[in-house]
Structure 1
């Protein structure tokens, strides 16, 4: 009945002459997927602009470029009308129960770079029209019931980076050209893999598989927290004297990091160095908007009066030279979301690496919290809630809707910008992969800001989505308190230089009101403040696996699932604190130990 009523509404929509082809195609997709009344609720005939619909992203010309409907429990089929979305770049429908065949019309999506239909119940042959998608870089059809042979047309997909066809019922011979794709997986089919490539049907050519890490136990998390505390403590020891003398600038660190694989993506504008030199008045100090761990940012004005922000990277001799740098920049440019800073272009010279972004007239959240000039408006509580949710959605997009996913590595208030409507825009994502002070092709640098870096990232050099979640949690504390993640002035009164430890102590003592930003002038909802702090503390747990994903964070900020998770956290935190104190006694460090004095006293239990 719901489908019939939806079809009638759709027919009514058309009868009124609404000719928005993108909206029509998407609404037809919703109907064919058997979406429930609670799913895609704003995909409706009365809201004719699809750019405002859930899980739909448009470019600046209102063209639909991304549709991500992953793991939503759909059970219908794919409407052939999807073929009219010829501006679509990313289509992700993985993890549903979609049945039927892949429509031949999908070959009309000539702008498509990523198609992910993994883990559905699709059947029939793979349409040969997919071979017409010359821009396609990621084709993921694993975990379905597809039959027949791999279309010969796939040999023409020269831009393909990853071909995943595992766990279907495909048969026949595999073209040798498909083995030239950087990453592939044909395992779990009836394909003929004889000859020189017989080994290749059981793994991908890069050898880079995926693994599902099991949740670590309580003691493991405590030990990991101890290691992180020690590392942070040692770093604080080196920076303490310099920063304690009234200097509250942020402390940036480099730690040996992990191997990162280079990915090639689309096209960007390549600026001439002279053009950016003129735009910024020869990179004048008067045009500096800010400075971070990756370099300075300058305000600029192009010849056509377009305002820009130019990031001049430090440590610019990236491994692999100009070509590798360009590939990484192009990967970043593919991220398109209202809460993600859009990259306009770049510039490289033998000694320079420059990134060009649109200018954000309301600057950064950090500026609005701590660097306001007299007479400038402060961020009120409603704006701070908006920033928290917008930033969460931006990070969710980077982690869960980009293929491959993008890890930010330095989430903080200074890297969240504000557009003309004070909408949060996440910037500086992916930059840790663009620079390498070691100038080798086997390591990148762990980049970040002290107080925002997750303990496991410091101790192992390995980042993940959960390291970003940790940084996001610290950013929430910045929003609530207006304070920096590290404040050495607190050494005069107490031992908690880390904002996280300070807030945790106040939360235990039920004294959170003493740390709220005075600029709020008591204009806030205390229950909402407490909820935001609860989300922050859940995000900053010592064990990465205990932290929520960013999609879970979004739901908690929207009022779903926080109470249950917070109650569970409180029980675990009591046990963790007791176990932590027990392990401290077992280590039996002496009073003269540098670790004892710095790591334990300054950082406290995590």
Structure 2
């Protein structure tokens, strides 16, 4: 028996090595590369503390995203990291996205990044990198999005950048670059803030006197080489030849269209939006054709609807390659126009990469339509799973709470730019194949409001989850999301929607006070989902209720930040925070002229709400 086990172990070890996942020493090479990266960085906030060099694989690590067991995204923006970037990053050969912007990383950009043939998005902006841009980066033929702005890079721009056909965005502004600018094939690029740079690579003299504009399209600029003016009959011949050529092209084009119409026996029509169609656009996003999504969803059939909400309707779809996706058809009164702003907002959403955030795969935009494409989540939303059988066990509910909290923490404190969700609820927390929480619909409120501030013309959210200050003033903040997260915790505990809390006890309209009363009376068993029966941890239950009550305090400045919420769910600092809150409550209760019941009743009583009791932003 021992020999059989030994043989099996040797066989699988050799097989694993044959896949290139292990080094000769039996260590996962991705684990080794990531540990080398961590060792060369200084991590003041400990965001990489759960990276373990003894791990079998790194797919459960913070800031790391895997696809089919391989590391594809390394996203550690806005973490105050310093130190240098290890050249061993080049050993993560399956990387598609690197997001290290807004840190304090110094030293040279590793030339080994040029070995990452699958890389599509590379953002090293707002750091302290020095030296020249490695020429090896010009070998990244799949690169779509490159951002190196606001560093201290010097030297010439590698001329090979002009040969990257997939490149759609490049930002090299605010460095110390010099020399000529290659003729990029990208649509958009910026080199402002490099005073020694020249306009084009075609200039014979490059003395730094030609200051470039903020951004421009080299492909649309005229050639710098002087041209001779045709004279006399040469000029006439040129004009005549051009006219004949244009007429021939028009005739040929019209004939081709007639032939195409006859062959396919279809109505002849034009779609001006087709000119925007590209297979990949805006970093690692794919820009879909409207007809492709129309076909994938069977013309947006009602049979394929996964959910409805104020942001739009979500359809299940199958792409031509067999991939199952979720297509959100946005309800957007400002859909006409605003193309550049919409693309910018979509791009910002796509850069929010975390294992507990729903990844945006692509988008579609026409003159009247805005659609977003996400991965399909087979386990649906937390709201739907709470109603399904068998019931989610207590351990899974606690894991969902922690995962959703980490996703919101990333949006509030680690993402650049920071994002306020504005509609945190069970319907907007999805579950992947392993029932891990994935926060969705983030960024859509700002995307559809088209406002620079957080003050909107209409309150977006779901009744029962809306924080009091947001409902009364329209002013949202990170604490607005914390309030919604506290209600989410109560939904996980009870298995009910927020508006259904307390109905059995005739406490409708005072849900939070009802929960607080039950907590004071130490009757928390009345809160727990009946489907759990007695299969839950009572100590963990009380801790989760305390976190929920802390998160739903009336005044936003009394609520904890999401980083504190996550730490409390992990068992760190809850007792101290709860004790301090109770002392403050005792002081305030003597000073206030009205009770918390009077304050909170406006948030949950259907008759007093100015907005309809409906889910204004449904699941994806």
Verify: 1:388 aligned to 2:397, yes or no: no
Q: Which residue of 2 aligns with 1:544?
A: 556
The match for 2:89 among 78, 82, 91 is 82
Partner residue in 2 for 1:399: 412
Label 1:60 to 1:408 Cα distance change in 2 as closer, same or farther (>3 A). farther
Matched, 1:105 2:111: yes
Q: How does 1:149-228 map to 2 (within 5 A)?
A: 153=157, 159=169
Alignment of 1:74-473 (within 5 A): 77-85=84-92, 87=95, 89-92=97-100, 101-105=107-111, 108=114, 111-115=120-124, 125-129=130-134, 139=148, 153=157, 159=169, 265-318=282-335, 320-370=337-387, 372=388, 376-436=389-449, 445-473=458-486
Count of aligned positions: 481
Task: Describe the superposition over 1:151-209 as per-residue Cα deviations: whole angstroms up to 9, x where unpaired.
Answer: 564998994569688xxxx9999x9xxxx9999999xxxxxxxx9x9xx9xxxxxxxxx
Cα deviation for residue 418 of structure 1 reads 1.6
Instruction: Report if the CA contact (8 A) 1:345-1:355 is conserved.
Output: yes
User: Cα–Cα, structure 1 residues 351 and 92, in superposed 2: closer, same or farther, change >3 Å?
Assistant: closer
Aligned to 2:54: 46
Q: Helix, strand or coil: the match of 2:59? A: helix
CA 1:171–1:153: 2 relative to 1, 3 Å? closer
Measured after TM superposition, the shift of residue 529 of structure 1 is: 0.8
Give 2:579's aligned residue. 567
Secondary structure at 1:51 match in 2: coil
**Does the 8 Å contact 1:408/1:429 carry over to 2?**
yes
Equivalent residue for 1:528, pick from 524, 528, 540? 540
Per the TM alignment, residue 138 of structure 1 is displaced from its structure 2 partner at its CA by 5.2
SS of the aligned residue for 2:55 comes to: coil
Deviation for aligned residue 1:81: 2.8
**TM value normalised by structure 1:** 0.66
Q: Is residue 503 from structure 1 mapped to residue 515 from structure 2 by the alignment?
A: yes
Q: Is the 8 A contact 1:339 1:425 kept in 2?
A: yes
**Matched residues in 2 for 1:345 and 1:95: separation?**
27
**Structure 1 residue 136: Cα displacement:** 5.9
Partner of 1:217: none
Maintained 8 Å contact 1:59/1:336? no
Specify the alignment match of 2:25 in structure 1: 16
Moved more, 151-160 or 548-557: 151-160
1:344–1:171: structure 2 CA closer, same or farther, 3 Å change rule? Answer: closer
SS of 1:379's partner is: coil
Residue 518 (structure 1) aligned with residue 518 (structure 2)? no
* Alpha-carbon contact 1:90-1:112 (below 8 Å) kept: yes
Question: Which residue matches 1:250?
Answer: none
Range that drifts further, 296-305 or 522-531: 296-305
- The alignment's TM-score, normalised by the length of structure 2, stands at 0.64
1:485 and 1:500 in contact (8 A); partners too: no
Using the alignment, how far apart are the partners of 1:274 and 1:111 within structure 2? 25
Counterparts in 2 of 1:487 and 1:53: CA distance versus 1, 3 Å: closer
Shift of 1:287: 2.9
CA separation of 1:92 and 1:358: change in aligned 2, threshold 3 A: closer
SS of the residue corresponding to residue 372 of structure 2 reads: strand
Query: Larger relative CO (CA 8 A, sep 6+): 1 or 2?
Result: 1
Aligned mate of 2:35, from 27, 30, 49: 27
Cα 1:579–1:183 change in 2 (3 A) is farther
Measure the CA separation in 2 of the matches of 1:467 and 1:313. Answer: 23
Structure 1 residues 425-455: Cα deviation after superposition (integer angstroms, max 9, x where no partner): 21222221333599xxx96754111121222
CA change 1:602–1:491 in 2 (3 A) is farther
For residues 579 and 130 of structure 1, what CA distance do their matches in structure 2 show? 68
Q: Unpaired segments of 5 or more residues in structure 1?
A: 1-12, 187-194, 201-263, 585-594
Task: Tell me, in whole angstroms, the C-alpha distance in 2 between the residues paired with 1:339 and 1:410.
Answer: 16
CA distance in 2, matches of 1:299, 1:172: 50
Q: Which secondary structure state, in structure 1, belongs to the residue aligned with residue 560 of structure 2?
A: coil
- Distance in 2, matches of 1:505 and 1:130, equals 66
Task: State how far apart, in whole Å, the 1-side matches of 2:74 and 2:562 are.
Answer: 19
The residue number in structure 2 matching 1:259 is: none
Based on CA coordinates, which of the two structures has the bigger radius of gyration?
Answer: 2
Distance 1:64 1:343, change over 3 A: closer
